[in-house]
Structure 1
Amino acid sequence: MRRQTGFTLIELVTVIVILGILAAFALPRFSGLEAKARIATINALAGSVRSGAALAHALYLANSSASPIAMEGSPVGAVIIDATSGYPTVAVLGIKAVVQDLTGFTFDPATGIFTMDSAPTPANCKVTYTLGAAAGAVPGVVVVSTGC
């Protein structure tokens, strides 16, 4: 009689049950990664908007407060600057021209809102750019990530 080798049915069931228990504990940990990635992306966009506005403001001051300013690398080449604040306007040729890559975002030039297209609730996953009212006031950049 030949001796048979292999796993018994009880051993296979035990391994499957253990793997199921491990998966049940690991799944909640990985389920929030997609939302965290979207929040990180929206925060990175806000940082780009802040940095781009500061760079445009510096170029504006260096160019004797003349608008539009030429920004090397900008897809449109020139950025329109608000005469009161000295920062890019809330327009396509303003802040949108400063921020280079908007893949995955939609920009509304009437409101200065960048919304994330892939978010479950795009209206609550956005960056809002607003000009300061006073002369030289730093523009506001507000992040809403509750819908990411």
Structure 2
Amino acid sequence: MKAIAARKEKGFTLIELVMVIVILGILAAFALPRFANLGGEARASTIQGAFGSVKSASAIAHSKCLASGTCNAAAANSSAALEGGSVDMVYGYPAATGTGIQAAAQIAAGDFTIDTTSTPGTLLIQANGATTATSCQVSYEPAADASTPPVISSTTSGC
């Protein structure tokens, strides 16, 4: 009998385990809403990154066209060699096509939804999974003439 009484039990009681689970549940209920909408913020950041990429690619391609003897910055249709590939140009800026600004900015169609049909002449780069695609996008309108640069804008209100 003394051997059984001398043996000490080790571990947690059922009450202690239940209390820990209750406390973790309460903490999770308060912490979960803070992390629930990270997808929208991530899509907005992705669109902002694509916006910066389109703006810088447009400027780099325009500089390349001006410095190159083969690209005509005054022509409605031209091309410029950029990083081993050819980029379609309109008045010295990338065209609003897959072989224009999309190729210059190196934007993959798998990462975004590329729309060239809803607004003719304009390339729309939309975030996949956005609440409203037209409210989470980059818009690229090509140069209208040799003295007007392209119009590049972004919207992140519906990401």
TM range (shorter): 0.7 to 0.9
- Normalising by structure 1, what TM-score? 0.83
| Divergent runs of 4+, >6 A | none
Whether contact under 8 Å (2:46, 2:127) holds in the other structure is no
- Normalising by structure 2, what TM-score? 0.78
The yes-or-no answer on 1:44 pairing with 2:49 is: yes
Determine helix, strand or coil for the equivalent of 2:58.
helix
Give 1:61 shift.
Answer: 0.7
The aligned counterpart of 1:12 is 17
The aligned counterpart of 2:99 is 93
The aligned counterpart of 2:112 is 105
The aligned counterpart of 2:152 is 141
Amino acid of the structure 1 residue aligned with 2:67: A
Residues paired across the two proteins, number: 143
Structure showing greater Rg: 2
The yes-or-no answer on 1:72 pairing with 2:51 is: no
| Structure with the higher strand share, 1 or 2 | 2
The aligned counterpart of 1:118 is 129
Amino acid of the structure 1 residue aligned with 2:81: A
Q: RMSD between aligned alpha carbons?
A: 2.0
User: Take 1:80 and 1:134, find their aligned partners in 2: how far apart are those partners?
Assistant: 15
Unaligned runs of 5+ in 2: 73-77
Question: Which 10-residue stretch deviates more, 52-61 or 19-28?
Answer: 19-28
Whether contact under 8 Å (1:104, 1:118) holds in the other structure is no
Determine helix, strand or coil for the equivalent of 1:118.
coil
